[in-house]
Amino acid sequence: MEQEKNKVLKVNVVTPDGNVYEHNAAIVIAKTVAGEIGILPDHAPIIAPLAIDEVRIRRTDSDTHVDWIAVNGGIMEVRDNVLTIIADTAERERDIDVSRAERAKQRAEARIQEAREKQDIDQLSRAEVALHRAMNRIKVSKHR
Ligand code: ATP
């Protein structure tokens, strides 16, 4: 029983800039491209592509504290109580520059408008992804 209580997930979030996050968690909730998933200690091994969304991490060092990370897609792997997320970019709620994200959102909206007028599908899909990224950062920044 005591052993059960002590089980934790070691969570690592890695980007090309380095390690963004490293803590022990009681539960992690992430959005895969197939839907939301909650990972507890002793979860079966999985590899899943993530959506551009927030990852919620309840840490073991506090009953109430939850960390939030804005991930730009990426891959999540769970194995042997280690949960690793590898993403192009990932920011913790407290590290998000909200005005930068607001500016990125406005630029993306302008590009979407322009792409619609030009009927440029490639520009439209790139701008929609950029908008999604900016809106995700804005959403995650509200958790701090
Ligand atoms: P921007 O147009 O503002 O650069 P972007 O979506 O094109 O936004 P990315 O290419 O996704 O930016 O990220 C480039 C780098 O900047 C990454 O290291 C990412 O973590 C960081 N970054 C981007 N936007 C923000 C933000 N609003 N707050 C903090 N870091 C950010």
Q: Residue 30 has which token pair?
A: 């992430």
Pocket test for ligand 1, best of 52, 91, 105 (most atoms within 8 A of CB): 91
**pLDDT for 96:** 98
List the CATH code of the domain at 97-141. Answer: 1.20.5
- The residue among 52, 49, 29 whose CA lies nearest residue 39 is 29
Q: What phi and psi, each to the nearest 5 degrees, are found at residue 137?
A: -65, -40
Got the DSSP string for 45-72? PEEEEBPEEEEEEEETT-SS-EEEEEEE
- pLDDT grade, residue 90 (50/70/90)? very high
Instruction: Note if the pTM is more than 0.85.
Output: yes
d(CA 40, CA 50): 17
- pLDDT grade, residue 1 (50/70/90)? very low
Residue whose CA lies nearest to ligand 1 atom number 20: 89
Checking if the pLDDT of 22 tops 80, the result is yes
Q: Which segments of 3-120 are extended strands (E)? A: 9-15, 18-32, 35-39, 46-49, 52-59, 66-72, 75-79, 82-86, 90-92
**pLDDT for 94:** 95
Pocket of ligand 1 (CB under 6 A): 17, 72, 89, 91, 95-97, 100-101, 104, 130, 133, 137
Tally of residues, the chain: 144
Superfamily of domain 2-94: F0F1 ATP synthase delta/epsilon subunit, N-terminal (2.60.15.10)
d(CA 82, CA 80): 5
How far CA 18 is from CA of 26, 72, 122, in Å, comes to 24, 15, 30
Residue whose CA lies nearest to ligand 1 atom number 1: 104
Show me where the domains of the chain are located: 2-94, 97-141
Q: Which percentage of the chain shows pLDDT scores above 70? A: 96
Mean pLDDT of the chain: 95
- The residue among 45, 59, 49 whose CA lies nearest residue 11 is 59
Residue whose CA lies nearest to ligand 1 atom number 9: 89
